[in-house]
Amino acid sequence: MGKKLPKSLGTVRVPEQFQQVFIKAQEYVSRYFQNYKDNPKHGTIEISGERYILVRAASMSMEFFDLVISLYKNRGEKEAVNVAMGLLFDISHAVGKADAKAFHSKMKVFDPIEKLSAGPVHFAYSGWAFVDILPGSNPTPDENYYLIYDHPSSFEADAWLRHSRRAKFPVCIMNAGYSSGWCEESFGIPLVAVEIECRARGDKHCRFIMATPAKIEEYITKYSVKFHPIREKAEGLLIPEFFQRKRIEEELKKAQQELEERVKERTAELSKINLQLKREISERRQIEEALRQSEEKFRTLFEDSRDAIYITTREGNFIDANQSALDLFGYTREEMTGVNARQLYVNPKDARRFQKEIEQKGFVRDFEVKLRKKDGTEMDCLFTATVRRANDGSVLAYQGIIRDITERKRQEEQLAYMATHDTLTGLPNRMLFNDRLNLELAHA
């Protein structure tokens, strides 16, 4: 016969319909923690064969926030708090997932509901907090997952209260991270938890809402509307997103593919124009005459192209430029004839570098420079151009396309920034930290 289950719950409080499954969880979590061994001579603590460590609660809450605020004092308290919260949430979320996985394996728990129900009991035994799951919770393994719960004895809030400190923000970020990490591992769906009321801030409860990232804001808004005293506070709540690197990399890859496709299309258009010009032009007079004679053949393509197409003499005087080129630099057609291309370079050295490369190779492709508009605005551009030569090999003209990549570079820099910075805190290295943390957990 199996062990007789306890008749009542002592380590967690749940609505009546969940009591039996939590009573069962209480039995095997209790059994897990009963197998406790410590050996100070070797500096080890083991529970059911797993190595544990003891950490003083205040050092991971109030004192941690104080330390980060002192380190970031020149950047303001708000940014420091965001940094601390981001680090604590990611660490605790990862630990919650790892603890859940190890516990389920050790105790041979396979049912998702039983996996989840062990979490609050484990939470109590490991000293994080007592858990009170409130009516209205709907812990289903799908997008409608919803859990509202209190931590009456959160170690984080207690650390502040025991030192007679009051926080300006909800402090139980590790409670939120660990509990959402455990439940995420149990149900196999992404989950996030947010503390919406906090005793350390002067509220009656340390209350949390847990849901999928797609639904969390909706649930918080509904709660804040219903309970007016927290309405203003709810507007400033931070909703963490755990380990965003993969999503950001996918977005960056997609953007790069789209840009490469557009570059191929523009290059094909330029190749057609270059081929046509090569057949008709051998010297400057021939260029001008050929342009007049072939106006009907390529003028539509020339003028309608969204890229800036130009032809200049070797000295930089403009022979022709399409409407896109005029729009790009802000000149009228009459003004452009009096402009020398060298005037458009922000750095004169780039003009000399361009001329040297195109005359050595006969072409340039994706030659990156900074150019200046008529109004002085600087922009990042790419040249793709070829040399026009006379029969004797002398240079008659340069012709090509100028693409404004200012916005593209801004987007690439933004995506690169997001790949190495936290969207909540704006600080570097969080993604690298998370990536290494995942790697360590995978090898644990």
At 177-192, the pLDDT tens digits run 999 999 999 999 999 9
Q: Kindly indicate the confidence band of residue 252, based on its pLDDT and cuts at 50, 70 and 90.
A: confident
Whole-angstrom CA distances from 163 to 59, 81, 130, 151 are: 13, 19, 21, 19
Q: Kindly indicate the confidence band of residue 82, based on its pLDDT and cuts at 50, 70 and 90.
A: confident
Strands (E), 257-377: 308-313, 318-321, 363-372
Tell me which CATH code domain 248-409 carries.
3.30.450.20
Between 84-98, 166-180, 219-233, 343-357, the lowest mean confidence (pLDDT) is in: 219-233
Per-residue model confidence as pLDDT tens digits over 51-79: 999 999 999 999 999 999 899 888 888 88
CA atoms within 13 A on the CB side of 53: 4
d(CA 105, CA 375): 68
3-state secondary structure 312-339: EECCCEEEEECHHHHHHHCCCHHHHHCC
Whole-angstrom CA distances from 192 to 33, 203, 217, 239 are: 27, 22, 10, 8
- Which residue in 211, 261, 264, 268 sits closest to 237, CA to CA? 211
pLDDT for position 326: 95
Check if the beta carbon of residue 157 is closer than 8 Å to that of residue 200.
Answer: yes
Phi and psi of 247, rounded to 5°?
-65, -40
CA angle 211/217/220 to nearest 5° reads 80
pLDDT for position 244: 45
Phi and psi of 427, rounded to 5°?
-100, 150
- Which residue in 412, 90, 388 sits closest to 259, CA to CA? 412
Check if the beta carbon of residue 128 is closer than 8 Å to that of residue 175.
Answer: yes
Whole-angstrom CA distances from 290 to 279, 280, 297, 308, 382 are: 10, 6, 11, 20, 27
Q: Residue 151: is its pLDDT beyond 50?
A: yes
DSSP three-state, residue 260: helix
- Which residue in 202, 149, 167, 148 sits closest to 58, CA to CA? 167
d(CA 100, CA 176): 15
pLDDT for position 293: 67
Q: Residue 400: is its pLDDT beyond 80?
A: yes
Phi and psi of 375, rounded to 5°?
-85, 5
Check if the beta carbon of residue 311 is closer than 8 Å to that of residue 287.
Answer: yes
Average pLDDT over residues 354-365: 94
**378 sits in which H/E element:** strand 378-389
- Please give the single-letter amino acid code of residue 194: V
Q: Residue 163: is its pLDDT beyond 50?
A: yes
Q: Domain coordinates of the chain in residue numbers?
A: 12-244, 248-409
Tell me which CATH code domain 12-244 carries.
3.30.1380.20
